Chain A
Amino acid sequence: MIEVRELRREFKVATSKGLRRNYKTVTAVDGVTFDVQAGEAVGYVGPNGAGKSTTIKMLTGILVPSSGHIRVHGVDPSRQRRDLAKRIGVVFGQRSQLWWDLPLKDSFDLLRSIYRVSAQDYRTRLDECVELLGLQELLVTPVRQLSLGQRMRGEITAALLHAPELLVLDEPTIGLDLESKERLREFLADLNARRGTTLLLTTHDLDDIERLCPRLMVIDRGRVLADGPLDDLRAEVTPERELVIDLREPGPAPDVPGVTAVRSEANGLRHHLTFRRAETTAAQLITQVVRQVEVHDLAVVEPEIDDVIRKLYQRQLDQPVTR
């Protein structure tokens, strides 16, 4: 579906000093390589200015790479932008492709003409989106009167009317409340699972990734830092997990082999036991613990995805990239 090899994009940035104007070259994307297979759902994350949006602009053909190779649907995006546009959908959290003063339905009708969708396909797709996203009452409302959450549902519908095989989402949940986010995620997960629509999404909300994307790509300073299943990344970057036990009676933490650190809370009623996943399993640990103390409740805690990402960025800082 997507094939990217050694992709680079440089920008010339003017640095003014008095009346003189100098240009310096900034590399926004610096040798990125990856593939996305049809039907995948990939999260593309990185701090602000990491090169995410630049990559997306190149994937969709509106920005020409400085060097490197891209194929989307087997097509060179910047050369065949209009052909490609018919086959992909793009949603921006921060921009709108709807007509501000028109009712939602009129925007959809216009898009139907722009993408030349047959009347019948249009009906089925629109009905489906309207139902799943709860847009019935909103169709006659001018876009300017919609709330952000309502508008985003409209944006997603707008991007799906031509049934794209690839949907690119640039920060789709930005600014949404928890419920709207959840609703959107549910819809996208369903789209990916049932229709097999390939998803590529950038986000700063790591719950989006946790919920939607089995695969995560982390980019910083124009380079891919990590690429793989979320669980593998977690295991690689943060090899430690935590067993939290609540005791019936306050007491000292059980002494169990394999535990690397202990932190106690609530006067010894709760203990956090850290262990390395390579050396021992949670099952072994629990067996040992219940032999020693009377346990009221216990839980195995995976490191938060935020921690994983933070550690990845950190690792990058520790090992400065030579350019």
Chain B
Amino acid sequence: MLAGMTTNVVFGLLRVAVLVAALKAADGEIADYDVAAANTYVWIGQGLLGFVLLWGTNELAERVRSGDVVVDLYRPWNLQGALLAEDVGRSGYAFLTRLAPPMVFGMVLFPFQFPQNAFQWPLFALSALIALVISFGFRFLIDLSSFWLLDNRGLYGFWNISSGLLCGLTVPISFFPEWAREVLWLTPFPAILQAPIDVFLGHGDPAKILALQAFWAVVIIAIGHFTLNRAVRKVVLQGG
């Protein structure tokens, strides 16, 4: 836990340094980011990626690979719901250990852009929670691919590499050229990280952002539900 926090903060420092240097080179402002907003963006992002479990564990895929997933399938539960519940439970803990520390760190030691309206705080919390559901939905789909691929580590690795860029972790999505920005906002990826950050920073209309997030959460959970049913009906379960 301590090691995780340290890594998290060290990466935060690196990202702040790079981003602030870029801002200075661009006369203090890029798109809708000044130095304070950039700091806030980095520290919230560092916290969120642990909270929404952007890079998850691939645990279900491993269980599919070993065949242990039969035990999960024997239970009188909705597997997707059960795993989501597990993630939500974990996020409660992650809030204390992963989300709060880097945010407090950033607030205390760096120029920090606090929300202008008090209601942005609960909206941010709600947005982060929906982001968690979407992130779970994505990881669940990647995990389920192992029913067909037998070994999904390639796909999983691809997700680990690309998700940072697509979700707005590497640089804010508003830094992208206009066409890329438009394309990205048509995908569910920004809803996982950029959306809650935007709600916090007051970029864009929070109601619109939350509605978009809710839409993607429903879509991705529905696809997961459908895919799980297919996986269970169609696919070979490994091991005797």
- B170-219 at interface with A (beta carbon < 8 Å): none
- B40-76 at interface with A (beta carbon < 8 Å): 67-68, 70-71, 73-76
**Which A residue's beta carbon lies closest to that of B240?**
A53
**Chain A hits for B67, CB < 8 A:** 95
Of the listed residues A48, A82, A115, the one surrounded by the most CB atoms of chain B closer than 10 A to its CB is: A82
**Chain B hits for A115, CB < 8 A:** 76
**Is A90 in the interface zone, CB < 8 Å from B?**
yes
Complex CA gap A94/B67 in Å reads: 10
Complex CA gap A81/B233 in Å reads: 11
**Is A64 in the interface zone, CB < 8 Å from B?**
yes
**Is A11 in the interface zone, CB < 8 Å from B?**
yes
Complex interface bits, B65-97 against A, C-beta within 8 A gives 1, otherwise 0: 001101101111110001000000000000000
**Chain B hits for A86, CB < 8 A:** 76
**Chain B hits for A122, CB < 8 A:** none
B76 touches A95 (CB 8 A): no
**Is A60 in the interface zone, CB < 8 Å from B?**
yes
- Chain A residues touching B, majority SS: loop
**Chain B hits for A276, CB < 8 A:** none
**Is A57 in the interface zone, CB < 8 Å from B?**
yes
Q: Nearest Cβ distance between residue A141 and chain B, in whole angstroms? A: 20
Q: Which of A78, A81, A92 contacts B71 (CB 8 A)?
A: A92
Known: A82-B76, A114-B76, A115-B76. A57 touches B71 (CB 8 A): no
**Which A residue's beta carbon lies closest to that of B69?**
A62
- A1-37 at interface with B (beta carbon < 8 Å): 11
A95 touches B70 (CB 8 A): yes
**Chain A hits for B73, CB < 8 A:** 62, 81
Known: A95-B67, A96-B71. A82 touches B77 (CB 8 A): yes
Complex CA gap A90/B71 in Å reads: 9
**Which A residue's beta carbon lies closest to that of B68?**
A95
**Is A85 in the interface zone, CB < 8 Å from B?**
yes
A62 touches B70 (CB 8 A): yes
**Which A residue's beta carbon lies closest to that of B78?**
A82
Q: Nearest Cβ distance between residue B208 and chain A, in whole angstroms? A: 38
A60 touches B240 (CB 8 A): no
Total of A-B residue pairs, C-beta within 8 Å: 42
Complex interface bits, A72-110 against B, C-beta within 8 A gives 1, otherwise 0: 000000100111011000101011110000000000000
**Is B222 in the interface zone, CB < 8 Å from A?**
no
**Is B17 in the interface zone, CB < 8 Å from A?**
no
Q: Which of A11, A90, A94, A96 contacts B74 (CB 8 A)?
A: A90
**Chain A hits for B82, CB < 8 A:** 114
**Chain B hits for A60, CB < 8 A:** 74
Q: Nearest Cβ distance between residue A48 and chain B, in whole angstroms? A: 7
Complex CA gap A57/B235 in Å reads: 13
**Chain B hits for A63, CB < 8 A:** 237
**Chain A hits for B75, CB < 8 A:** 85, 97, 114
Q: Nearest Cβ distance between residue A77 and chain B, in whole angstroms? A: 11
**Chain B hits for A114, CB < 8 A:** 75-77, 82
B70 touches A57 (CB 8 A): yes
Known: A82-B76, A86-B76, A115-B76. A48 touches B240 (CB 8 A): yes
Complex CA gap A115/B82 in Å reads: 13
Complex CA gap A85/B232 in Å reads: 15
Q: Nearest Cβ distance between residue A205 and chain B, in whole angstroms? A: 16
**Which A residue's beta carbon lies closest to that of B77?**
A114
Q: Nearest Cβ distance between residue B108 and chain A, in whole angstroms? A: 34
A57 touches B77 (CB 8 A): no
**Chain B hits for A92, CB < 8 A:** 70-71
Q: Nearest Cβ distance between residue B143 and chain A, in whole angstroms? A: 17
- A57-74 at interface with B (beta carbon < 8 Å): 57, 60, 62-64
A85 touches B76 (CB 8 A): yes
Q: Which 5 pairs from chain A and chain B are nearest by CB? A: A85-B76, A86-B76, A82-B76, A62-B73, A97-B71
Excluding A57-B237, A82-B76, A114-B82, 18 further A-B contacts by CB distance (< 8 Å) are A11-B236, A48-B240, A53-B240, A60-B74, A62-B74, A62-B232, A62-B237, A81-B73, A82-B78, A85-B75, A92-B71, A94-B240, A95-B68, A96-B68, A96-B71, A97-B74, A114-B77, A115-B76
Q: 25 A-B pairs, CB-CB below 8 angstroms? A: A11-B236, A48-B240, A53-B240, A57-B70, A57-B237, A62-B70, A62-B74, A62-B232, A62-B237, A64-B233, A81-B73, A82-B76, A82-B77, A82-B78, A83-B76, A85-B75, A86-B76, A92-B70, A92-B71, A94-B240, A95-B70, A96-B68, A97-B71, A114-B75, A114-B76
